[in-house]
Structure 1
Amino acid sequence: MMLKKALVTGSAVGIGRAIALHLAGQGFDVAFHYKNSADAANQASQEAATYGIKSMALQADVTKPEQAQSLVETAAEKLGGLSVVVNNVGNYLEKLASQTSIKEWQEMIDSNLNATFYVTQTAIPHLKAAGWGRIVNFAFASAQHLIATDDQTAYRIAKTGIIIYTKSLAKELIKDNITANIIAPGVAENSVGLEETIPLLPNQRPARLKEICNAVDFFISPESEYITGQFLEVAGGWKL
């Protein structure tokens, strides 16, 4: 029987919260992670517990290696193992490359690429111990295309790094019954500036959080054990 224990980073609010609650509804014991939003994370964890599963809220700044490692170890200890890791954390920046400060650059790399690396590297031994594992990392729609944009340079570089890292893990870990895949949302119902972006979308609506959760379902399914290193957009045709 598969061990159903999941950690979702950045799961106090938004997409991460929706995924963690969805996994709880699928019978997973879930660790909610937050950096600052303690009340929201605890509330989400309490809601998850109504599904009859074990849940908890754990605090960490995953841009710091030691805190990311502690988060994973604590989650695995309290949940009784770990089989699914969803790396949802990642700040966003719109700024011209020439005007991006060193601090902003570091924040983009740290919160997106480095945080994903720190969490996943610590989780891999636990996934191996579970006998199966699923790693789901987050990029954004069109991130697989090596093109420049006017105002997303640091963010795009960080997400491109996540894609390469995830594909490397996919090749290495398939023999351990562990897959690693990437979900790339476009504009979601919780995105900022919806009034401006909705007219740009092919079907004139953002992604529902449930639709992003469905993509997670696909990758973590036992039937998807041969699908790894893949990039799945949930963007309704945006940026194609």
Structure 2
Amino acid sequence: MTVALITGAGRGLGSSLAIELAARGFKVAVHYHHSRSGAEATCDVIGSRGGEAEPFPGDLTSDHETRRMVADVAERWGRIDLLINNSGVYQEKPGLELTESEWFDGLNTTVTAAYFTSRACLPMLRDSPLKRVINIGDSACDHIGARDMAWSYHVGKSGVWLLTRSLAAQEAKHGLAVNMISPGYLDNSVGLPPAEDMPSGQFAGFADIHHAVRFLAFDAPSQLSGSNLVVSGGWNL
């Protein structure tokens, strides 16, 4: 038995990843904060296809709430083998127009959530034969440049990249591989530009991210840690 915990899995990419990993034999902990109906629907889809998943609520901007959520997963299955830190709130507003709550939402649902969740999961991840953490970044988070919109989200995703590398170095002695996948525009992204503006002429789809997750979870060499796979079709390079 292998167990995957996916944060922000009540909708969008997180939900799609939950369904994909369940199809590959994982028991899936579907984390949500506000998207309860989406998380339950995701679990229903997985169950209808013969898989096993359960929704787990939690505010990942709180260390206490995060530890409680992870403890609930441990009580249900007794292990976590793969953690995917996917959560993140994108505010489609010019940077200086963000409210105080929107600023902290962008930061806390990205880097703070990834930090608290990774730390809470570490004891079980270290004991797992798989030992994998995959963080979901953003196609430009590994290089510093100006952004027009959603400043706190982008600052947070750059923080997730720093966290990825720092945790990879820290946990290498335990054999834990920590890597990041950074999508460009996806089919469901907010504020999509014309597809012809993309270097590849099209947007990435969930299937492209599935391929990257499967590689890092199953096929990547054990010494591959602290890396960032940019899945953007050349966008933001």
Give the TM-score normalised by the residue count of structure 1.
0.92
- Residue 205 (structure 1) aligned with residue 194 (structure 2): no
Shift of the alpha carbon at 1:151?
Answer: 3.0
Q: Distance in 1 between matches of 2:216 and 2:130?
A: 13
Q: Distance in 2 between matches of 1:204 and 1:11?
A: 28
Q: 1:75 aligns with which of 73, 76, 81?
A: 73
State the Cα distance separating 1:175 from its structure 2 match: 2.2
Across the aligned residues of Structure 1 and Structure 2, the Cα RMSD in angstroms comes to 1.7
Partner of 1:55: 53
TM-fit CA distance, 1:36: 2.1
Partner residue in 2 for 1:214: 211
Change (3 A) 1:223 1:202: closer
Aligned residue for 1:126? 124
Post-superposition CA distance 1:136-163 (Å, at most 9, x none): 1111111111122233432221111111
Letter in 2 for 1:160: S
Task: Encode CA deviations 1:29-64: one digit per residue, 9 max, x unaligned.
Answer: 111111222222112112223454431111112122
SS at match of 2:180: strand
Shift, 1:66, TM fit: 1.6
| Residue of structure 2 in register with 1:235 after alignment | 232
Provide the rounded CA distance (Å) in 2 between the counterparts of 1:39 and 1:107.
Answer: 21
**Partner of 2:37 in structure 1?**
39
Segments of structure 1 that go 5 or more residues without pairing to the other structure are: none
Distance in 1 between residues matched to 2:150 and 2:41, nearest whole Å? 33
Q: Distance in 1 between matches of 2:95 and 2:129?
A: 44
Counterpart position of 2:153: 155
Aligned 1:179-198 pairs, distance under 5 A: 179-194=177-192, 196-198=193-195
| Preserved CA contact (<8 Å) 1:7 1:82 | yes
**Structure 1 range deviating more: 126-135 or 176-185:** 126-135
* Counterpart check, 1:13 vs 2:18: no
What's the TM-score once normalised by structure 2's chain length? 0.93
Where does structure 2 lack aligned partners over 5 or more consecutive residues?
A: none
1:175-211 superposed Cα distances (whole Å, 9 cap, x missing partner): 21211111111111111333x3423211222111011
The verdict on how the C-alpha distance between 1:50 and 1:175 changes in structure 2, with shifts beyond 3 A counting, is: farther
Change (3 A) 1:23 1:169: same
Give the letter aligned to residue 135 of structure 1. V
Deviates more, 1:33-42 or 1:157-166: 33-42
- Give the SS at the match of 1:232: strand
State the distance in 1 between where 2:7 and 2:96 align. Answer: 31
Q: Which amino acid is 2:24 matched to?
A: Q
State the shift of 1:10 in Å. Answer: 0.9
CA separation in 2, counterparts of 1:176 and 1:222? Answer: 19
Q: Which amino acid aligns with 1:74?
A: D
For the 8 Å contact 2:10–2:42, the answer to whether it is kept is yes
State the aligned residue count: 237
Secondary structure at the aligned position of 2:182 is classed as: strand
What's the secondary structure of 1:221's corresponding residue? helix
- Stretch of structure 1 that moved more, 3-12 or 220-229: 220-229
